[in-house]
Structure 1
Amino acid sequence: MRLAVASLAVCLLTMSLFVLVPGSEAGSWTCGGTPYATNPGTEVVRNGGFENDFASWYTRAAPPSISIAVRHSGTKSARVLSAGSAPTRLWWLPPNTMTWRVWTRNGGTDTVRTYPMTLATGTWHLLETVVDGDLGIQCLFIDGTYVDSLSVSPASTFTPTVLAFGDISTAGDAGDAYYDDLSIQDAGPPIPDYVPTSPQPPGSIEIGEFLSLPLSIRVMNQGTGSANATSTMSLFNESTPYSPFATFSLPPMGVGEIAGPFTATWTSPGVPGTYRIVAEVDTSGAVAERDEGNNRYSWTATVYPPPITTLALGSPNYLGTNVTSATPLTLSVVDRSGHGILRTEFRIDSGPWVPYSGAFTLSGEADHLVEWFSEDNVGNVEAVQGLSLRLDDTPPTSTSVIAGPSYGGQFIASASRVSLSTVDGGSLPVGVDVLQYSLDGQAWTQYVAPLGFTGPDGPRNLSFRARDLLGNTEATQSLHLILDNTAPASTSSIAGPNYGGPFITSASRISLSGADGGLPPVGLSVLEYSFDGQLWSPYSGPLGLTGADGARTLYFRATDLLGNAEAPRTLSVILDDSPPTSMSTIAGSIYGQFITSSSRISLSTVDGGSPAVGVSGLEVSLDGQNWNPYAGPFGLTGADGARTLYFRATDLLGNAEAPRTLSLILDNAPPTTELLTSPGMISVASRFSLSAGDAGSGVASTEYRVDGGRWIPYTGAFSLAVGDHVIEYRSVDRLGNSEPVRTASIRIENWKPLLALAFSIVLIIVGAALALRRSASGDSRSRRNAFLIGTVPFVLAEAATGIASWMTGVLAIPPDLDMGTFVDVGIFVAGIVAAILVQWWIRKPGVRPPPA
């Protein structure tokens, strides 16, 4: 038989077992979404021959069904084959390999698929294909169960109205089914014969522990007569025949009638082994049958233990619970069923289950729960196993700490100690395994205690690293150190006044400087100083000394930034802020400020300080002129007048005393003396006075002499006797400047004697005249007595004052209105009056003049 059909794509998915008996097939298929019903006219082969070509084809109008039955003995390949351009070819190679090949026409690509498939030997299997030319779909069914489907490319290889079931036979007529080796059975008496048929699953059962397996079976009356009684069908374990796990009631069945399927669930035991499950028809024997020995169908079930899956941790790992993201995780399965592992799956942190295909890793630092299980090909599903793993990808972090002298994280001294410490990183650290160090590129050494450094000054390189228990190793860290055990060296210098080394002033500045040692040096930390053993103070700039003069000791020292300190150095100095003290003395003429050109001014100076540095120079300046060095005593010249002498001394440190001032008045001019007389006519009453004036130091003394006599210190006015006189006089000032002798010629007039004489003569005349007038009334004695009483005394008084004035100058006249005039006039008037009164008195009657 020849069929023209398009090339089809074929699909195979899973397997089901179906025992076939002669007669019409009942069932339906869905391929590509289209349902197909079984063609009742199709027969199946029951004899024991090997059938390899059995097919039929139909158009869409025909009932779309075809069945292909292949019986095999377990030693041959069962195949469905078409001649020429066969669209389908199916091989089954015992015990568990099924290959399905689909050819395509007109430029399509052949497809071959191989499936693990186990078919029980010694029983019938129904192999069926459905080809739909419209959809370009070919589907595969084994024992009535859909296995797989494939789309044919290109779909146009099929005639759109062609629908084919099964393979295409190599012989026969088109449109007819081809039956090969069909057995014909003779008919007997009409007796029913119940037989179990169409067991599901067909054949032996291989199953895991504690699994529920649906068993189904049909009951067929293959006898020649109908039954007339209701019977029972039971399913039970062979070992417990009186304890069925399922019982079904069967009404009377007609010839060829099939009842069922009857389905029950059998649960496999938890103990591995071989078990037989029996389906028995007409358990109670209610129906008399042609063959009572064919009422049972037995499934042989082999129960296998489940697989054991083990999770192996690759390297690195620690204690079987700590891993890194590089640690391979491997699942290994022990297949205790011997039927192969269907699947092994795992999941992480309750995520979706993932088929295991090879080593896997974890990611993300955290505690991870890895769960896994395996399922073998007999349905054993291993209990889910789990292991909590802690992932740590973070290496430790090491740090260094320098204890003791250090600066800038680099400079250290031999007393310094470098401590290393490490902390394992990550959110869930596994812990540190080892901390190592290497000095200057030498071998790595495990760190156990703080490190010290010896040897010459200079750079040192300390490398260190830590590794955790998973082998996570931090990047090597380096600590670049410089060993410096050399102390600084400091020096001092003095700026400003300085003499002989030790002598300074408070204006002097002592500068300190320090230079640090080391290769390279760390640098100065502090430069300190102390005066006279007092507290140390940081040096911040040039130093000056204050306080009392005297010896001082400056201690100074430098310390570098590591604390290396030099031994204190000493600078002995003598503070001398005291300037010299200058003095002036004047030899020769001096009075107060007044001097003469012959005076000699001497300057001297004494330096201050304890001890004193000594005088450098003594300078003098006159009236603000230039300063000149003092060379010795000197005098002043020039015009008389005020002079200001400035002088100052400076010691060897430049301490200069404030200029001293000597205010002088140069006085070389002698005094000037004047002779002064009383106002009016010069007389013995005249007083001569000397008035000396000096424009300079003042008059010290004035002296005079009269008529070449001895010099008499002038102490006050003096008078001269009557006559011609020569007065010499002179003055000397307080400096000894002597005035040249001055001379004055003086004549002293004294009219007193002459006036006394004149008054005496007048008195005598008047007295005599009055006495003579007495003669008329008296005797001569009376006249005489009147003259003697009234005139003579006054004449004698005038004579006496005249003589006395002439001899002594007393009562001298001039002055005209002086005492001499008053005396003379008084005596004269008194004499006149006395003479008159005496004469008057004498003339009284009875009066006698007193005796003379």
Structure 2
Amino acid sequence: MNKISLWPMIGSLLLVFLAACFISDKAAAEPQTLTISGATGSPGATDPYTEFSLDNGQTWSPAYLYGEHPWGVIPGTNSWINCGPSGTDYCIGQSVLYRVQFNVPAPFTNPQIAFEVKADNYADIWLNGTSAGHIESSGVISGDATVNNAVYAGVNEARILLTDSGGWVGLNFKITVQVDAPFPPTLADTIPPTTTDDAPANWVNHNVDVRLTAADNTNGSVVAATYYKVNNGAIQNGQIVSLSAEGIHTVNYWSVDHAGNVETTRTATVKIDKTAPVTTDNAPAHWVNNAVTVTLQVYDTGAGAAATYYVLDGGAQQTGTAIELSTEGVHTIDYWTVDQAGNAETPHRKSVIVKFIPMNNGEFRIDDIVKLLDQGTVQQKDMNFDGIFDVRDLEIMLIGVTPVVIR
């Protein structure tokens, strides 16, 4: 039986292992570079990674791009940065603190950082709390051993305090970070997502699904979740808010990205009214002997009335709540109201008889009926204007009789 030696196999495996270690160490030792340009973009937009503070770092807001400056721009950039969208309207004569954050992978060695800055007028620069130097107008600062050693694994922060002495104001910079590491440094995401809604602006008369759309900034860590509350209720997770109950609903919503940046809460208001208005009238219950104005009264506890319509005697549709009847005849009024949510009331119909006949001091009494029956013409006695005098006309007369008080 032949014996098989394991030593050649072990030797081969050892060579593979050593080669892998050599390659891994060599990859880890390769220089990795991050260049941060402040800034590129369209004037009026916000820079995706530069923030400013007017209260010494207590609160931060995205810095604005306002275009070119008489002093030019650093190659690789096309805009200066300011605390407002216009180069001459913001931060004049002030000291404004700016910051940029970036991630350095672990493990790393041989950190090197350089700052190229154009400042109107003075810039003081720090890296993670360590002073890197002072620049007037423009200059380049390459980090010394103290500054370079201030770089650490994880999130680093470069701060630039810009001091203006009047006139134009702003900042233009380029920061170069180089380390020997397995992966390059990256910009840190400090800007929260932005969420919008498609809630209707006006009252509606149907169920509503409000869609929340969240987006992170260009260099962001991507949206992790969107949250919302309805009428100050429990916090829920999702991008569709379903509402069906009538009333005014308040939807508070916000998003969070994978870097943990939490968006400032936004608010949408949704107004739902599914109930039509109710319209009443003050039309007389019996015939009248004079011109009369019928007034329409609208009741709506939701969206409120948008318009009240009426049709008089089958004529054209009109808008209003006061209907004047000044001619003899049986007048027919059809009326209804539509509210601001689009709910239309079922039309009402009311008939009003206007008949000009002689009365006793403005009152229609039994003796007036007797006189009318005895001396009146058919036309005068025709209370419903159907061309004849019959029992229905007598009924209408009696309805309008003024009661007699017997003492």
Q: TM-score, normalised by structure 1?
A: 0.23
- Which protein shows a greater Rg? 1
Q: Relative contact order (alpha carbons < 8 A, sep ≥ 6): 1 or 2 greater?
A: 2
